[in-house]
Amino acid sequence: MYTLYGGELSLFTRKLEAALIFYKAPFELVPKAKADATLLETRSGTHQVPVLATPENWLIADTTPIMGLLDGRFPGREMFPAGEHGVLVHILEEHFDEWIARVMVHYRWHYPESAKFASLRMAMGNEAAAARVAEWGPRACRATGTGSDQQRQAAEDEYVRVLAAAEAQLQETDFLLGDRPTALDCIVLGGLRAHTNMDPDPKRVVADFPVVLDWAERRADTWTGGGDLVPLPESTAFARHLLGEMATTYVPYVLGNQAAQHAGAKAFHANIYGEEVSYLSRPYPEQARQMVANRITALDTPGVVSDLLEQYKLAQAFSK
């Protein structure tokens, strides 16, 4: 039995929950607030969620490596397929993990109704605790670059384009890269289930996409195994849409963060949607970028992936 410690309003908790459902792994979701937080943080090495307790009583964190571990335990149900497809999945999952996640933060904390809903739910109805949670939200928005009206609107427009592309794709295939799920589906489902189909304000946006809504609430979890991914280099229209967006958003962000980390800077600026935007410099986006680069380097024949990266102007973002 696996135990997933986290929260129902946590993007990465719900991402890993989606993966565990796809693996058909026996698990239970336990709110961190009901666990021994000191023990979890000491043994996992992080205060963040989720933390997964394995049957061996390991306590491990970071959803992407966790799925790499679980892929080896549930053959035929891997969330990161082998070879070039695995690289594509990792690139697109990384885009959601480190870039699209800012949209979730914006929707939750810049809209009063959603902020009140989320903070009270996280604090289990304790208004004093909810007030402390709500104080954190605006700081997180500034750190992730949605401080200006221009960036807030651009983030919302970007997410609506993602929803529209997913709505079209899910009418053709069962999942976003074909007829079987991957880590990309997990992060998209995590965002829907923890944030945009949970919080009141973005939930009204998601309501305009009934196929996505049905997929998140019912259809995705009916997968029984099997199915193929659309072959490369074409992949799906959804994948091509994401790759086409990344060059002007994710790339300047992640390269700016990389330079700031190397310089020891606490913040950096990147030109996003025609505006110079300030971001908090963080170690993890650089670690995550390196994980993708390592996966590319490990390919026996990287030709198709190299061509895709050049085609979509992404090669520099994932170079060693």
The residue assigned the tokens 């029984």 is 224
Which tokens hold the place of 246? 């990344």
Spatial distance between the Cα atoms of 280 and 269, rounded to a whole number of angstroms: 9
Residue pair 115/108 in contact by the 8 Å Cβ criterion: yes
pLDDT of residue 216: 98
At 320, the pLDDT band (50, 70, 90 cuts) reads confident
The residue assigned the tokens 């009934």 is 210
Q: Is the peptide bond before 202 cis (omega within 30 degrees of 0)?
A: no
Domain ranges of the chain: 2-73, 83-318
Residue 5 backbone class (left: φ over 0; alpha: ψ -120 to 50; beta: rest): beta
pLDDT tens, position by position, 42-65: 999 999 999 999 999 999 999 999
* Averaged pLDDT of the chain: 96
pLDDT of residue 115: 96
Q: What's the whole-model pTM score?
A: 0.96
Q: Is the pLDDT confidence value at 162 over 90? A: yes
Question: Which backbone phi and psi does 24 adopt, to 5 degrees?
Answer: 60, 40
At 302, the pLDDT band (50, 70, 90 cuts) reads confident
pLDDT tens, position by position, 175-199: 999 999 999 999 999 999 999 999 9
- Is the CATH code 2.160.20.10 the one for domain 2-73? no
pLDDT tens, position by position, 211-221: 999 999 999 99
